[in-house]
Amino acid sequence: MALTPLSDALERILSDVEATLDYDTVALEAASGRYCAATINATLSVPPADNSAMDGYAVASHNVPGTLAISQRVPAGHAPLPLEAGTAARIFTGAEIPAGADTVILQEDAEAGEGQVSLPAAQPGQHIRRQGNDIQPGDELVAAGQRLTPQDIGLLASVGLDAVPVFQSLSVAVLTTGDELREPGSGDLDPGQIFNSNRFTLAAQIRALGMTVIDCGNLPDDPDQIGEALERAAAEADCIVSAGGVSVGEEDHVKSQIEQRGALDLWKLAIKPGKPLAFGHVAGTPIFGLPGNPVSAFITFALVAKPWLIKRQGGRLVPTLRFPVRAAFSITRPGTREEFLRVCLAGSGEALRATLTGSQSSGVMTSLSEADGVAVIAPGTTVAEGDWVEVMLLSTL
């Protein structure tokens, strides 16, 4: 089987994903991390009126320099009276500018006396935050499909909204396969066993996308049990993510069970780590059959399943940020697959360096856990120390 470039696989997988239309309107308090279901425009101005950026005196600029009577005191939250001609208003940060004043003079630059104040000359408009300077009615605040951040939530609150429509979270079933796998907490390992890590990594990756995990546990390498579990998962979930059992070995039953109970595309992706990847459906529910090696499972989830899930969730797909960093390593034998090397970053600016975190074997989790990002190396590339390589941060994967 020929190797499929990642970009080709992604194009195929993403071409016919339909975004969910189901949404709920939720309180802002519950909306962080959810995918906004509609574009939201402002209906009012922020600030709603001109207000002072400083503590000081609001005056008409043509009256200064000079000594002016203090005709009113305007703390934040209290409506001012129109400014009496030829006077100053004592004003505080966030307080509305009285009609008739066009500038604010810092209290540090003023000499206050009994009921009056001496003020220097001032530019019109200084230290005034203009009405609508941040937001004007009609401005787009968040777009449909945007994943709401804490700062977006604050932005929505700033125009007086207390609820927002968000897409209903996808339910994603996670199942792992392998006779050798033992659940953490279930006692000591017997000979031949290892602990199941993928179930935890994948569930955490799914939850980090704001989606709900349906934990289907681990299945032994038995075709019927795997097939039945896949059908149960298909009945409940919007998508299934499995790990293991998609290579060409005799004990790799996930692939054949997807084929029997639905339809399957199997790729050998031209990426390292992460070669075998199954995509298809079981009883109409899409499934990603990821490789079992822990780093391969993590990387293929991040690079392939995640974009699909975000698109299905109604989210906006934005290309993962890549930026150039100088390599503190070399590659003398070029690979045939696009490689994602685990690196940590140190230094800044031109001195920023990407250092390999250790063994790049697809079973080694320590070098993934230690990494800040992955350096993306195109097939056929050699790298000398000091060459520029492109890095993607794991926090964005």
Minimum distance, C-beta of residue 328 to ligand AMP, in the bound complex (Å): 29
Binding-site member from 80, 245, 286, 289 for ligand AMP (CB under 6 A): 245
Residue 210 Cα distances to 58, 163, 204, 223, angstroms: 48, 18, 10, 32
Binding-site member from 146, 247, 256, 360 for ligand AMP (CB under 6 A): 247
Minimum distance, C-beta of residue 176 to Mg ion, in the bound complex (Å): 9
Length of the chain: 397
Rounded Cα distance between 208 and 302, Å, is 11
Q: Which stretch binds ligand AMP (CB under 6 A): 87-95, 139-147, 173-181, 316-324?
A: 173-181
Per rule CB under 6 A, is residue 307 in the interface with ligand AMP?
no
Per rule CB under 5 A, is residue 244 in the interface with Mg ion?
yes
Minimum distance, C-beta of residue 218 to ligand AMP, in the bound complex (Å): 7
Q: Which is nearer to ligand AMP, 312 or 337 (CB)?
A: 337
Minimum distance, C-beta of residue 4 to Mg ion, in the bound complex (Å): 22
Rounded Cα distance between 341 and 355, Å, is 9
Residues 160-219 that bind Mg ion (CB under 5 A): 178
Binding-site member from 135, 164, 172, 181 for ligand AMP (CB under 6 A): 181
For 313, the token pair is 């969730």
Minimum distance, C-beta of residue 270 to Mg ion, in the bound complex (Å): 22
Phi-psi category of 233—alpha, beta or left, where left has phi over 0 and alpha has psi -120 to 50? Answer: alpha
Q: Which residue is nearest to ligand AMP (CB)?
A: 292
DSSP assignment string, 49-63: S-EESSSEEEE-GGG
Three-state SS string across 122-183, please?
CCCCCCEECCCCCECCCCEEECCCCECCHHHHHHHHHCCCCEEEEECCCEEEEEEECCCEEC
Q: Which stretch binds Mg ion (CB under 5 A): 19-27, 95-103, 236-244, 383-391?
A: 236-244
Cβ-in-10-Å burial (0-12, 13-18, 19+) of 354 comes to: buried
Minimum distance, C-beta of residue 353 to ligand AMP, in the bound complex (Å): 31
Binding-site member from 4, 103, 196, 355 for ligand AMP (CB under 6 A): 196
Residue 259 and residue 250 in contact, taking contact as beta carbons nearer than 8 Å? no
With CB cut-offs between 5 and 8 Å by kind, which of Mg ion, ligand AMP, none does residue 294 bind?
Answer: ligand AMP
Q: Per DSSP, what are the bridge partners of residue 327? A: 354
Q: Which stretch binds ligand AMP (CB under 6 A): 21-29, 243-251, 262-270, 328-336?
A: 243-251
Rounded Cα distance between 122 and 70, Å, is 17
Rounded Cα distance between 301 and 397, Å, is 9
With CB cut-offs between 5 and 8 Å by kind, which of Mg ion, ligand AMP, none does residue 176 bind?
Answer: ligand AMP
Q: Which stretch binds ligand AMP (CB under 6 A): 12-20, 166-174, 239-247, 316-324?
A: 239-247
Rounded Cα distance between 372 and 67, Å, is 61
Residues 199-228 that bind ligand AMP (CB under 6 A): 199
Q: Which is nearer to ligand AMP, 164 or 271 (CB)?
A: 271
The footprint of ligand AMP (CB under 6 A) covers 176, 178, 180-181, 194, 196-199, 243-245, 247, 291-294
